[in-house]
Each structure stands twice: as C-alpha cells, then as structure tokens.
Structure 1
C-alpha cells in the first residue's frame, strides 16, 4: 500500500473577522525562521543565501539583535505577543495557549489570512511538554499535516524527498495562492529539526566555550525586508543598535496601526530610531543574556575571594533551608 499526505490551501471565508477597519495598504507579513542559528552561523552555513538573496536585495541585517532568554519558547513568545512568557504563563498552569495575544490575531482582524507552520511536531514551540492549542490558532495551521507526515519521515526525508523541500514548497504554494486571490496574509514559518539536531549538537557545544561563542549564543540572525514606503533611515541606523524580539513585535504593531504604539510595556519600533545608548537594563534583558558586558581576566585572585566565599555561603544557606 502507498500512502502520501497531501497539503491543500482551501479558500477560507471569514465574514466576521474585520472587527477593525480594513487597511488595503497593509503589507503582507512573512516570517521564515530557522532554529538555533546565530548570525555568524547563518553566514557560515548559508553562504549562497547570504550572498545572493540577503546582500543587495534591500534586506536589513540587524547586527545587535539580542535574544532575551534561553530557548525557542521564551524568545518567540516576546516576538509574537510582546510579553515575556512569565507575564502570561507558568508551568503550574494546566492550560492551552489560545488566550495568548498573538500578533497574528490583530492582523487577522484587519482581514489578513494567517498561517502558522513548524516542522518536527514533537518540538513545536507551544506543544513540546505543553498543551498546545484547543483550536487552530490561525486560518492555516499545519500541525495536523506534519503529524501525519512525521510517521513517514526518516533521515530528514519524506517519501524520497528532503522534508525541507516539502515544507518550503507548501509555503511557496501558500504565497502564490494568496497572491492569486489578491488576499493579504500573515505567515509564520519556523524550521527546527535539521538545525536543532545537527548544527546545534556538532558545532555549538565546542564554540560556546569561546568568547565568540558566547556572543553567537546570544545573537541569532535577523534579516528584515520592508516595502519601499517603510524604508526609513532609522532602519539602517538601527542595524547596529541593541534590539530584541520585543522590538520586532513593536514594529509589527507600528505597521498595523500606522504609528508607533507608545503603550507597549516592552519594545521599540525599528521604524523609529533606537537610542544609541540603550542598555539591557532599560529593555529589560537579564544580565546573563546581555552581550553589552565585557569580560575581563582577573589577576588579583585575593580581591575576589571574599565575594566567592559569600556566594558559596549563601548557596549553602539556601540549600540548607
């Protein structure tokens, strides 16, 4: 018996979604994310993409893009919701994530069709050791498709094809379908299996032991392309400013609302100039993840001994309690 999972892109009618005034000039939004890849790793492992697509095509490389937490879940959530995970959820909550204020919900209310897709369903951001969603979070939600496909995926191949080709083919088909229907969209695609399993294991453990590796761990790649009407001088200036996932969220709000949203708890729009003296404390980013600190070799060990003894004593007291 031969079985094959086929993905379709049906026409989805949403007559009640436009709770906000429709914006015919609102651009399409497309995220193509790759897990566990720093900016320098991107240059090393995707040189053709970096050279032929990113360079010279109007993309902005955000060199100061600093992650705010350890892994995918607490870094994507600020980008997609504008909040730290801890503001919305903790591990004691036996709940699903439908109530999260995802930015795609706001674009949906403006009339954009929404897509959310991740490969490797066992590692999906809101499903790995979590409850996922009670209802599909977007108009087009690919998790059921990937679950069916995953059982026939082996060695990163699906029925004789590299699985990444299948994923990106669907994304391209989605874009073509939306364009043919003259339908605006918000699409979020995130690929994790290959880079998480291979690049992360083979390379990162060794590189993290170096000073360069410390920076790489905290500086994921971020390339941004915007339509001509948004190509303000500020975007170029902000390439070298300290930025975070909160700023991407703030930029999406700026585009959606036509002006900077000054009520956001975190984040500044990249269409506005980011202060040159911005600090991790002002964002805020925990000191552990901040790349603005300088490490210095300590030669006078006697000067640090009292501090070390204090820390050890404090830890022992906490463990004893």
Structure 2
C-alpha cells in the first residue's frame, strides 16, 4: 500500500512538471512578441534588469529618461509620444467662426470703472458699404439666482420687452452680466448685419479698497486653467507651442501626477473639495437641488480670506456640475459665467465641430471663457490688484477628439502671451491641468492607453517673488516631479497658499487623510500606487494583470484614491 501510494505520487509530480514546462514555453513565446512591440513604440525598458537599476545600475538622471516614477512600490514607464507605432493623428482642419470685423467693441473706463459699447464706424463704412443706414440694439443678460433661472428669465424678458437701441459709447449699467447686440438696417430691420455677445467683469461693490490693495500686494492670486481629456503625453504631442511655453523658468511639471476617478466630476471634486466620491455622496445627492451649494469648495476658503472668486466653463450642456446633475441654486463664486453662456447658446447661431458647439455667434465657445479670464486679469491683476482665485475650464476642442489639441494650441498660446503682457506671471500662481487623458478613441484603444488615460498633465507656475520667499516649495516641486502625486495632494497644495498667509484658517469639516500630503511639500519616494478604491476591484485587478503581461517585468498602476 505504501509503495503504491509512493509510485502514484511520483507520476503525479512528473505530470505537473510537464505542464509547467509547457506553460513556461508558451509564456516565453508570448513575451517575445510583446517585447518586440514595446521596442517599436515605447522606450525599451523591458530589456533593463530592474534589480540592477534598484541596486544603482543607472543614475537618477538616466532612470527618469525611462520612467516617470520609479520606486520599489510604484513604477510608471515613460512613453515617448513621438515614436512610430502610435495612431496617426493628423490635425483636423482649423475652422474660424467669422472673417468679418466687429461692428461693436467694448471699451473700459478705468477712472469711472464702467464699460462702454463702441460702434466701429470706419469698419462699417469699409466692410458694409452696400447697406443703408443701420442701428444697433442690445438685450441685457442678468445673473440668475440659479443656473436655470437666467435661462428662463431671458425667455420671459423676450416675450414682454423689446431690445433697446444704444448710441455711440453707451455706458453699460454696473449690474449687467452681459449683453447680446444686433446691428441691422433701419429701413429693413430683418436685414441683420451682425449679432454679437459680450460678458462683463463688473467692479465689485462694497469692497474695502485699502484692504484689497494690501492683500493684492501680499497674497498670490491663483489661476487654474484646465483642458479636458488631455494627458501629459498627448499634450506634448498635440500642443507643442503651449508645451514649450510651460517649459520656461518658474514652471514645474508633475510627471507622476495621476487621476483619482474615471471622468471629470470625481477628479475636479477631489481638487476642489479634497473629498472622494464616497465622502461627498454620503453628504447629499448631487442630482437634487441644493446639494452642491451645501458642500465646501476651495473657492469658499479663498473667499473667506478676502479673495475674489471666479469660475467659467465653456460647454454649458455638459459642464462638470450640471450634466445629469442639478448644479448650483446660488452663484458659487463672485464671477460666474454659466448664465451668460446658457443664454447666448440659445440666442446666437452655433456651429458644431468636435461633437459640440464649437462656434457660438462670432467666437469659439472656448474664447468666451478665456476672454472672461483676460478681463479678470486686466481688472484685478494689472490695473487694481486684488487677490483672485479662478478656475477656467475648456472642453470644446478636446473632450471627444484627441486631435483637438492641435487646433487649440495656437489660440491657447495667444491667450497665455496676452496674460503675460498683463503681468499675470509676475504676480500670480498659475496651474495648467487636466482631469484625465483620452478615455475612448484611437489613443485609449492603443495598448499604452492604460497610461494615456490615467496620467493627466499638471504644470505649476510660481512667480519670481514667491520662489524667492518660499525656496522650500521650489525644492519640493523639483523633487515631486517624478514622485507619485494625486488630485488630493494638489487640493492640499492649493490650501497651502491660504495657510501661508492665514495659518489659523478654519477649513470647516476638515477631512482626515493619512495618505494625503501637500504637493508643495516633499512627497514620499516609496508611495504605494495600487490604492484602487473608486472602481470595481475585480475589474481593476484584472486590468492590472493584463497590463503586467504587456509590460513584462514592469508593473504600472495608478494612485486612484487615498485610504478612507
């Protein structure tokens, strides 16, 4: 009996060893094919002996030519976005919204702090000579108490009130959020020469100007410029002009920055509230009125220490806080552009491109947001400094097409250059960021799409005076460039700008997070990157197994969320 059992055990072991031999040969053959593809399209890091690197086989400078992040607990291989093997991404044809000169322009009187509508008579005589005498009317856009109320209010006004004519250099009342203007022949009013729309950054009332001047000299204004669905790799590939701009002195690129949620809302909520979806969903239902108004955002904290606040996003139909949600019952910030954009989107002619309203009236929908930002910079950075916190977000070029950045690049750079002329980069902190990379389409379907989707761009600019005053922040950002960071770290970093001037600031319901650290302070080198708490864990684990098979020896994860 003993001999029989021993013989059976020997046969069983031989059979298992044979299966292992076949399996090893099969995996080896598969890995050879993967290595070949890796060599063609990505830096050939799988040929590198990882243990030798950890033991000092490569110095740090050489190491970061191969990896965005490299530690014993987290490795993110660096993808070269310019090598062969990526989908061919030829830019789509750029479309201008109009080639006509403007009949109406806006002038600001700094001494009197008001706007005027100016008729460009020379341009009208030159370009509209075949028209008879014309007149121009305006229709007021007023800020509503809620997102939808401004839209309904305009429909009501249109039914009971006719547009009014204005004369040369007509003074815009100080309560106007914006106007829609129309110029037409007087003899035939149905013959319209031009329709246009203008938003106004009105001088705030009931402000202590002396205190504002003092704050403006001591507090850094903070401007966040966001481009939807833009990874750091596609940013380099599709927006070379802007990419070159943010490589100037004072800019810091966070190559280890990772998204923490699937789409825009959880990623922006992490930056603006510091909360995970589980946390803010436990407080209220964003599909019900008043929920978003009850949450504490960063702009509330900045407002409490004397900052003016602003928020503008170009596509009102899919905006972050309104798509399948109820939005805000009250304007969340001092300067809120959404009511204006909702109205002009209904009353001006629109052109769709990249899947959304590309042109609204005579301008790109993106331009309304960045013209609004330019006004804020003119008024409160250049002319009469006041501290300001603003978020300006654009989706119209890039949300549904990874090629859209190429069309946006020149326009975006032009605004950055104008902002530079107004002194923005001498006085203010500027952050260029995205929510995530391409989630569908050619880049997402490429086998490097796992990296593309999870690594949005993040560039942080510190003005010269701030770098001199806080050298420890400069040192931290230099070190953090190739360390794992997330939206929660950015949230705490933005709070730091308040804490540096108000160390006893009360942040209401302060959120406990042992894993979160300010991005303005040195982040740990050996951070774990497999903290996956926002998605179905079985799905994510299987995804990671698949990616590990692709990348061979290198595991690639993302810091999706912090520990609850």
Under TM normalisation by the shorter chain, which class is it? 0.7 to 0.9
Aligned with residue 148 of structure 1, among 333, 337, 343:
343
Residues 3-56 of structure 1 show CA distances to partners (whole Å, capped at 9, x for unaligned) of: 43210111113559x9xx9695221000000111111111111101111x1112
- Alpha carbons 1:60, 1:223 under 8 Å: kept: yes
Aligned with residue 57 of structure 1, among 238, 243, 249:
249
Aligned with residue 548 of structure 2, among 289, 292, 296:
296
Cα distance in 1 for residues equivalent to 2:388 and 2:229: 26
- Alpha carbons 1:260, 1:269 under 8 Å: kept: no
| Correspondence for 1:122 | 317
Task: Trace 1:84-163 onto structure 2 (pairs within 5 A).
Answer: 84-89=276-281, 91=285, 94-96=288-290, 97-151=292-346, 152=348, 153-155=350-352, 156-163=358-365
SS of the residue corresponding to residue 157 of structure 1 reads strand
Cα distance change of structure 1 residues 200 and 292 upon mapping to structure 2, 3 Å threshold: farther
Task: Trace 1:1-321 onto structure 2 (pairs within 5 A).
Answer: 1=192, 2-13=194-205, 25-51=218-244, 53-89=245-281, 91=285, 94-96=288-290, 97-151=292-346, 152=348, 153-155=350-352, 156-179=358-381, 180-199=383-402, 204-227=440-463, 228=467, 229-230=469-470, 231-258=473-500, 264-266=511-513, 267-280=516-529, 288=540, 295-297=547-549
- Alpha carbons 1:120, 1:150 under 8 Å: kept: no
Give the paired residue count: 293
Cα distance in 2 for residues equivalent to 1:127 and 1:170: 20
Cα distance change of structure 1 residues 248 and 294 upon mapping to structure 2, 3 Å threshold: farther
Cα distance in 1 for residues equivalent to 2:504 and 2:459: 21
Cα distance change of structure 1 residues 48 and 132 upon mapping to structure 2, 3 Å threshold: same
- Alpha carbons 2:216, 2:386 under 8 Å: kept: no
Deviation for aligned residue 1:197: 2.8
- Alpha carbons 1:5, 1:145 under 8 Å: kept: no
**Structure of higher CA gyration radius:** 2
| Correspondence for 1:312 | none
Residues 76-127 of structure 1 show CA distances to partners (whole Å, capped at 9, x for unaligned) of: 0010001012211265862331111101111111111100000110111110
SS of the residue corresponding to residue 268 of structure 1 reads coil
Cα distance in 2 for residues equivalent to 1:9 and 1:69: 33
Cα distance change of structure 1 residues 172 and 275 upon mapping to structure 2, 3 Å threshold: same
- Alpha carbons 2:310, 2:389 under 8 Å: kept: yes
- Alpha carbons 1:117, 1:189 under 8 Å: kept: yes
Cα distance in 1 for residues equivalent to 2:457 and 2:504: 24
Cα distance in 1 for residues equivalent to 2:307 and 2:219: 9
SS of the residue corresponding to residue 273 of structure 1 reads coil
Deviation for aligned residue 1:221: 0.6
User: TM-score, structure 1 length as denominator?
Assistant: 0.81
- Alpha carbons 2:480, 2:522 under 8 Å: kept: yes
Structure 2 residues without counterparts, runs of 5 or longer: 1-191, 353-357, 406-437, 551-564
User: TM-score, structure 2 length as denominator?
Assistant: 0.48
Cα distance change of structure 1 residues 294 and 28 upon mapping to structure 2, 3 Å threshold: farther
User: How well do the aligned residues superpose, as a CA RMSD in angstroms?
Assistant: 3.1
- Higher percent of residues as strand: 2
Deviation for aligned residue 1:281: 5.2
Bigger relative contact order, structure 1 or 2 (CA pairs below 8 A, ≥6 apart): 1
